[in-house]
Amino acid sequence: MNNSLLEKLKTVDTPTVCNAIEVAQGQRGFNQFTRGTMLASSTIDGAMVGYARTAQIAALAPSSENPSIIKQRRADYYEYMSAGVRPAIAVVEDLDYPHAIGAYWGEINTTIHKAFGLGGALTNGVMRDLGDLPSAFPVVAGSIGPSHGFVHVRTIGQPVTIFGMQVNNGDLVHADRHGALVIPPQVIPVLEAAIDKLLSTEQLILGPASKKGFDFAAFEKAWAEFENART
């Protein structure tokens, strides 16, 4: 991913990227996105985009493994999150979902991940400390709660599932308050142009509709041009 595409992806929301992928593919039917309503830690941080650093956690009950194993895995987890290609985001599946109670994403953990150079966190689990989370590190989560429970790391670098969307280590992910998607590798070379085309096409209807005197006749004309141009 070149810097130009990265900067473009930071400026647009996830629905725009979802539509642009279909423009790039030349057809509808793209389905590598989350299902259901997710919660965003901030409405001003905008979108996060980066290569996935994946892990799984659980918190409903204490781990049955030896404490030394859990401690070492936690250290391995942080080492893993501190490494890898950038830009990157943490994509962490809570295995307790839909009954997750362990708020893994609070002030301390988000600050650590931000310091490691990650650009945000995507999870089906729990976040907390709203208002105290670091700026420019958005969290898109499944729920909000007060407790960390018995949270512990289960796996590192394995495929995960977030609200019906499978994510593999290294997948390019875009996420914001609407949810998240995985960008197919095949469209990356043409995605920036597809976004520009989509935004230009949308103006065929948004431009006329925002002007005075927009009546049904003006709508018919604008809609015909819009329909002819879009995927």
Residue for token pair 């935004």: 199
User: Are 37 and 59 found together in one domain?
Assistant: yes
Domain that holds residue 118: 31-183
Give the per-residue pLDDT at 43.
84
Cα 103 off chain centre by:
18
User: Token pair of 180, please?
Assistant: 């998240």
Question: For residue 65, is it within any domain?
Answer: yes
Q: Collapsing DSSP states into helix, strand and coil, what is residue 49?
A: strand
Domain's final residue, options 183, 203, 218: 183
**CA angle (90, 181, 47) in 5-degree steps:** 65
| Same domain (yes/no): 68, 125 | yes
CA dihedral 113, 116, 120, 123 (to 10 degrees): -50
103-115 pLDDT per residue, tens: 999 999 999 999 9
pLDDT at 231: 61
- What value does the mean pLDDT take over residues 179-204? 96
Residue 25 lies in a domain: no
- Check whether residue 66 and residue 168 sit in a common domain: yes
Sort 10 into a burial class: Cβ within 10 Å, 0-12 / 13-18 / 19+: middle
Residues 99 and 151 in one domain: yes
Shared domain for 118 and 193, answered yes or no, is no
Instruction: Determine the distance from the C-alpha atom of residue 135 to the mean position of all C-alpha atoms in its chain, rounded to a whole number.
Output: 16
Same domain, 73 and 147: yes
Question: Do residue 159 and residue 194 come from a single domain?
Answer: no
Residue 199 within any structural domain of the chain: yes
Task: State residue 125's pLDDT score.
Answer: 98
Looking at the structure, do residues 66 and 175 belong to the same domain, yes or no? yes
Rounded to whole angstroms, how far apart are CA atoms 23 and 40? 27
pLDDT tens, position by position, 40-73: 999 889 899 999 999 999 999 999 999 999 999 9
Q: Is residue 17, in this structure, part of any structural domain at all? A: no
19 touches 198 (CB < 8 A): yes
CB 182 within 8 A of CB 18: no
**What does the pLDDT look like over 138-158, one tens digit per residue?**
999 999 999 999 999 999 999
Residues 102 and 203: their CA atoms lie apart, in Å, by 44
Same domain for 177 and 222, yes or no, is no
Q: Is pLDDT at 229 greater than 90 in this prediction?
A: no
- What count of other Cβ atoms lies within 10 Å of the Cβ of residue 35? 11
- The reply to whether 104 and 210 lie within a common domain is no
pLDDT at 86 over 70: yes
- pLDDT (tens digit, 9 = 90+) per residue, 115-127? 999 999 999 999 9
Residue 4 domain flag:
no
H helix runs in the chain, sequence order:
3-11, 14-25, 67-82, 107-115, 188-209, 216-229
Count: domains in the chain: 2
Q: One-letter amino acid identity for 117? A: G
**98 lies in some domain:** yes
Percent of the chain with pLDDT over 90: 96
Phi, psi of 156 (to 5 degrees): -130, 130
Nearest to 160 by CA among 137, 143, 142, 186: 142
Say how far apart CA 203 and CA 130 lie, in whole Å.
36
Q: Is the pLDDT of residue 222 over 70?
A: yes
Per residue in 65-79, pLDDT tens? 999 999 999 999 999
Under 8 Å between Cβ of 57 and 94: yes
CATH number of the domain at 112, please. Answer: 3.50.30.40
Residues 201 and 178 in one domain: no
Which of the listed residues 163, 183, 203 is the one where a domain comes to its end?
183
Query: Is the Cβ–Cβ distance between 127 and 139 less than 8 Å?
Result: yes
Is residue 73 domain-shared with residue 156, that is, in the same domain? yes
